């Protein structure tokens, strides 16, 4: 709990048995967390068994492997159902440190922002933490394209460490987004489209064998999806195209710095 606000951490999990317990322990060390929700996307390892043994944790299992985006949709739906005022997504592979949860919580809980991202680029942590050079170059290129086409000023669009206010999750139509990895990019496009300011905090990261990663072919598909999302955003802003995932009006614009 933070200033009377209920804090829920969600973990979209897939084959995370080796790192889930360590990640969860560090999450619970951050004393503001009220509940952890683990959504398993039909893992082939012992993720569900490990998650079910953890304290203060709600476990939901997909009957089929639906995809990373579909997993997040379930995460956010369950968090809202559980009365969350602030929802923080932490990957259970221990790539992102949960020690930033109090900082991200305070930025939202004090009414400064509705969305906070943990950036691997700020502070130069990406390469220091072991991000492959080709992924770093792709990240910088796709982020530049996203900033230009969506008139944003983010250090990166592709972090998996994100915090949201309840209001934001109730406003943006994230359920319309892809069930695949491009869900992340589409969600940020929706947040920017609705006029919210996105904050960032510098986040140390670790790349190691147990950390989740997508293969090269899916990385290419993700990159193409990000470019398409950014271009669609620009065309919609110019009034040249109606985009299903973007609200039909811009009435919900806020003056939050």
pTM of the model: 0.91
- Domain CATH code at residue 73: 3.90.550.10
**Boundaries of domain holding 115:** 7-237
Q: Is residue 254 part of a domain?
A: no
Q: Is residue 248 part of a domain?
A: no
Task: Give SS3 for 116.
Answer: strand
Q: Is residue 204 part of a domain?
A: yes
Q: How many domains does the chain have?
A: 1
For residue 125, the tally of other CB atoms under 10 A from its CB is: 18
Provide the token pair at 166: 């309840």
Is the per-residue pLDDT at 255 higher than 60? no
Calpha distance 185→230 (Å, rounded)? 9
Q: Is residue 251 part of a domain?
A: no
Q: Is residue 1 part of a domain?
A: no
The string of pLDDT tens digits covering residues 50-87 is 999 999 999 999 999 999 999 999 999 999 999 999 99
Q: Is residue 53 part of a domain?
A: yes
Q: Is 127 left (phi over 0), alpha (psi -120 to 50) or beta?
A: alpha
Judge contact between 51 and 38, C-beta under 8 A.
Answer: yes
Q: Is residue 210 part of a domain?
A: yes
Q: Is residue 132 part of a domain?
A: yes
| Nearest Cα to Cα of residue 163 among 124, 201, 214, 207 | 201
Would you state the pLDDT for residue 252?
A: 42
């Amino acid at each position: 709990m933070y200033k009377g606000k209920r804090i829920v951490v969600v973990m979209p999990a897939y084959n995370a048995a080796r790192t889930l317990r360590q990640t969860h322990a560090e999450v619970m060390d951050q004393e503001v967390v009220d509940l952890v929700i683990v959504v398993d996307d039909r893992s082939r390892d012992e993720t569900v068994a490990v998650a079910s043994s953890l304290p203060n944790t709600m476990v939901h299992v997909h009957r089929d492997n639906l995809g990373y985006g579909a997993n997040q949709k379930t995460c956010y739906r369950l968090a809202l159902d559980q009365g969350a005022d602030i929802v923080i997504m932490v990957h259970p592979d221990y790539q992102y440190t949960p020690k930033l949860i109090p900082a991200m919580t305070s930025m939202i809980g004090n009414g400064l922002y509705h969305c906070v991202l943990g950036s691997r680029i700020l502070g130069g942590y990406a390469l220091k933490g072991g991000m492959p050079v080709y992924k770093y170059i792709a990240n910088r290129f796709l982020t530049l394209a996203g900033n230009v086409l969506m008139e944003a000023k983010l250090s990166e669009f592709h972090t998996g460490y994100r915090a949201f206010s309840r209001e934001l999750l109730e406003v943006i139509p994230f359920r319309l987004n892809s069930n695949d990895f491009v869900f992340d990019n589409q969600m940020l496009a929706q947040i920017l489209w609705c006029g919210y300011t996105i904050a960032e905090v510098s986040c140390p990261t670790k790349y190691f064998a147990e950390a989740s990663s997508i293969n090269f072919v899916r990385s290419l598909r993700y990159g193409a999806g990000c470019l398409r999302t950014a271009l669609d955003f620009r065309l919609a802003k110019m009034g040249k195209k109606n985009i299903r995932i973007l609200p039909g009006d811009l009435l919900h614009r806020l003056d939050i710095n």
